[in-house]
A and B are shown apart, each in its own frame.
Chain A
Amino acid sequence: MPPDNGQYLVAAYVVAGTIYLSYVISLIVRARRVRRKT
């Protein structure tokens, strides 16, 4: 019987998703700012 540790999987996926999504959002914001300036 595998150990019951699904909460760590959820935590890791949420943390990784947050890191990558935050960076993508920051890039989109910067891209929009650059476009608006020009």
Chain B
Amino acid sequence: MTPDLGPAHAIIRRGLVLTILGIIGVGVVMVLAVQFTPVEARQGLAQKIFYIHVPSATVTLWIAVPLTGLASGLYLWLHDLRFDRFAAVSAEVAAVFCLAVLTTGPIWAKPIWGTWWTWDGRLTLTLFLFFLLLGYHTLRAALRDPVERGRFSAVISIMGVVLVPFIHLSVYLWRGLHPQPIIMKPSAPSLPPEMLRTLLVGIAVFILMYIGMVTLRYGIQLARDVQEAADAA
């Protein structure tokens, strides 16, 4: 029997368009940051790394990991494989964004702090989150039974969500080199308007890229699952 892959292909097409728009948007943010945003007096040009580092971190910590955890929780509750598929896809994209955070951060740290890395609370916990995401995929790859795979990996992804508030509060809990939040704080954002504008455009673009990547990856996984089910029947 030929499986109906029409819906999966439609999702793939939609995801591809959104992802390409997101990638173009990232290019626009880079140009906006370099050409149309003032240079910070003390940090120089290296401060402009902020416009890709912070949006990548925002998507990882406030969107990708929480949505992965939410989908995992819903899977544990409702046993609907669509939630498990979404969680796996979102966790994969979260790992990509987290890798960008963990590589751009040290490149920014070197000229400003004088070191590539320090075992500061926020850096260490973010690295731990990245390893947790890698562990999540390793576990999924090792388990054949979809129900067992969904259940065990859901527990790991919920552990990732538990880490998020600790990562956010780490700059208050432990004294380290990492600066305190400039947007996600009780008072108003402490940034000049031009810098804030570029940052907000950056966050919007990275959210769009996350949505595009997740949609595209979800479509691919859906097509594979439908094909596998048809092959097994």
Question: A: which residues have CB within 8 A of B?
Answer: 2-6, 8-9, 11-13, 15-17, 19-21, 23-24, 27-28, 30-31, 34-35, 37-38
Chief secondary structure at chain A's binding surface: helix
Residue numbers in B under 8 Å from A30 (CB-CB): 220
A38 touches B107 (CB 8 A): no
A31 CB contact (under 8 Å) in B16, B20, B209:
B16
Residue numbers in B under 8 Å from A11 (CB-CB): 107
B111 touches A3 (CB 8 A): yes
**In the complex, A4 Cα to B49 Cα: how many Å?**
14
The residue in chain A whose Cβ has the minimal distance to the Cβ of B34 is: A9
**In the complex, A4 Cα to B44 Cα: how many Å?**
7
Q: Mark B220-233, 1 if CB is under 8 A from A, else 0.
A: 10011001000000
Residue numbers in A under 8 Å from B93 (CB-CB): 23
A2 touches B41 (CB 8 A): yes
A2 touches B42 (CB 8 A): yes
Query: Size class of B's contact patch?
Result: 35 or more
Interface assignment of B73: CB less than 8 Å from any CB of chain A = no
Partner-binding segment picked from B98-106, B130-138, B166-174, B185-193:
B98-106
B residues 10-61 in Cβ contact with A at 8 Å = 12, 15-16, 19-20, 23, 26, 30, 34, 39-46, 48-49, 52-53, 56
The residue in chain B whose Cβ has the minimal distance to the Cβ of A13 is: B30
A24 touches B44 (CB 8 A): no
Residue numbers in B under 8 Å from A16 (CB-CB): 26, 52, 56, 100, 103-104
A38 touches B103 (CB 8 A): no
Interface assignment of B3: CB less than 8 Å from any CB of chain A = yes
